[in-house]
Amino acid sequence: MPKRMTLASWNVNGIRAAEKKGFFDWLHDRKYHVIGLQETKAHVGQLSPKTVHPDGYESYWSSAVRKGYSGTAVYTRVSPTFAETTFSDSCLDGEGRIVLLEFDEFYYFNVYFPNGGMGPERLAFKLEFYKRFFDLVETYRKKKPIVVCGDVNTAHTEIDLARPKENQNTSGFMPIERKWVENFIKAGYIDTFRMFNKDPGHYTWWDMKSGARARNVGWRIDYFFVSEELKKHVKKSWIETDTLGSDHCPVVLELSF
């Protein structure tokens, strides 16, 4: 494994749509070691060979049963020692929300957490997913440190979205959702961006319909977390605000061993 690893995470809002907007130019330009994608909205059989296996990368895919919905994928230039996309759990499986890879120094989880905004049933599902994912990651943490990246679909604190007061009762900023993020951090998972930047105004998602990105009226709902054991290995963590192609932008983490 390289002594320095740079990992990126991006909700691409459809890999086929992102491909038409220059995603693979970005991929080959950045040359990040590991790239976790969320909301791929595709089954492997619907994609071209170059999309599934771009030059220089292995890929791992988890697709929802329902076509055109959810889905995660990882492109990696570093071969993992282990990969898994199903966990014998009806809540965690079925919607293609998790890709787990094992590397020499850590377990890596790329996750597309559910959106709770479609009504009470989906909010309940989101909270149950949160609970079961925490139990899953804690099991793996007993064996090796953890990296978690992805679209968590919740802004943690008031500085993580542009209009906190107006969104107190909106899914993605409800107290019960924020409490899970708080408890995750208290359990020893570090929000790496906040290691380096404590300021407001830094977001990863903007509503496209209202043109919110141009006004930077956004939410920070995409994260890189590391377990406490990896804190000393974190060198940088940042948001690629200027990268276009989705309603989200990439977030990036650099580790050194």
Q: Is 151 a catalytic residue?
A: yes
Active-site annotation holder among 93, 151, 191, 199: 151
Per-residue pLDDT at 2: 78
**Tokens representing residue 88 in the block:** 């014998």
Q: Are 61 and 71 in contact (CB under 8 A)?
A: yes
Predicted confidence (pLDDT) per residue in 201-252, tens digit: 999 999 999 999 999 999 999 999 999 999 999 999 999 999 999 999 999 9
Confidence of residue 159 (pLDDT cuts 50, 70, 90): very high
The residue among 84, 81, 27 whose CA lies nearest residue 252 is 27
* Structural contact between residues 135 and 185, judged by C-beta atoms closer than 8 angstroms: no
Number of Cβ within a 10 Å radius of residue 154: 26
The CATH architecture that domain 4-256 belongs to is 4-Layer Sandwich (3.60)
104 pLDDT band, cuts 50/70/90, is: very high
Model-level pTM? Answer: 0.97
Q: Which residues contact 126 (CB under 8 A, 6 or more apart)?
A: 113, 114, 115, 116, 153, 171, 177
Task: Determine contact, residues 51/27, Cβ cutoff 8 Å.
Answer: no
